[in-house]
């Protein structure tokens, strides 16, 4: 929960605990964003009037790193705020004051929906490659890649679970000079790994293969 009103935060936390919903609170938005990178949450309850940055600006920052459901909980009941919040990626909008029982219902409804989606997409690849649009989505988040990084990662995705030599990566990449050093591949791979770790820092998906090159796998 990202909520700067301590009293409201305490009331909601204590009430939600009665329904076995554990809450971690942050009074400041950047603290909340930091917690999101360090913990595996199921849902975010987000206030809009926050210190330092407006909640409407926080939503796209969350979306850059996660597809976690967001319920906006705000005293601002202007339709414009609601429209902007939903357009930027919020899943629900609850104007204050509201009955906490309704919040419990909204939470359970959203989690039931997302959990069902998770079951249906259990076999879905973590990496989605669109060669025509030249973009790659990892865990539902669009990666910001240079042309060379896109080339390398797309080759690894197309040959997932198979070892790919550095020479293959070098000569099959459209945006890497054939005269470049093989070591450039290691540098590019390192940069790709760093970008993947911003989304998932617990697992490594690009494995080195001794004497050959690299292998991309989703089996952790």
The domain locations on the chain are: 6-120, 127-216
* Mean pLDDT across the chain: 90
Burial of 29 (0-12, 13-18, 19+ CB in 10 A): buried
Six token digits for residue 90: 């919020």
Looking at domain 127-216, does it have CATH number 3.30.2350.10? no
CATH number belonging to domain 6-120: 3.40.50.2300
Strands (E), 151-205: 164-165
How many Å apart are CA 50 and CA 57, to the nearest integer? 10
Q: What is the pLDDT confidence band of residue 59, given thresholds at 50, 70 and 90?
A: very high
In this prediction, residue 138 carries a pLDDT of 94
How many Å apart are CA 129 and CA 32, to the nearest integer? 31
Q: What is the pLDDT confidence band of residue 114, given thresholds at 50, 70 and 90?
A: confident
Q: What is the pLDDT confidence band of residue 123, given thresholds at 50, 70 and 90?
A: low
pTM above 0.85, yes or no: no
| Equal fold, 6-120 vs 127-216 | no
């Amino acid at each position: 929960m990202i909520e700067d009103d301590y009293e409201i935060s305490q009331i909601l936390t204590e009430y939600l605990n009665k329904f076995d919903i554990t809450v971690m609170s942050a009074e400041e938005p950047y603290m909340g964003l930091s917690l999101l990178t360090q913990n595996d949450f199921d849902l975010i309850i987000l206030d809009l009037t926050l210190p330092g940055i407006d909640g409407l600006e926080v939503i796209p920052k969350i979306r850059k790193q996660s597809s976690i459901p967001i319920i906006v909980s705000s005293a601002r009941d202007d339709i414009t705020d609601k429209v902007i919040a939903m357009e930027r990626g919020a899943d629900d909008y609850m104007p204050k004051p509201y009955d906490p029982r309704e919040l419990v219902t909204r939470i359970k409804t959203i989690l039931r929906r997302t959990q069902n989606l998770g079951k249906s997409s259990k076999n879905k690849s973590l990496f989605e490659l669109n060669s025509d649009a030249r973009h790659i989505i990892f865990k539902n988040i669009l990666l910001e890649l240079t042309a060379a990084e896109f080339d390398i990662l797309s080759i690894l995705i197309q040959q997932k679970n198979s070892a790919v030599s550095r020479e293959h990566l070098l000569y099959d990449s459209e945006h890497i000079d054939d005269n470049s050093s093989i070591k450039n591949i290691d540098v590019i791979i390192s940069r790709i790994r760093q970008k993947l770790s911003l989304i998932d820092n617990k697992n490594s998906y690009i494995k080195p293969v001794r004497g050959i090159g690299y292998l991309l796998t989703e089996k952790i």
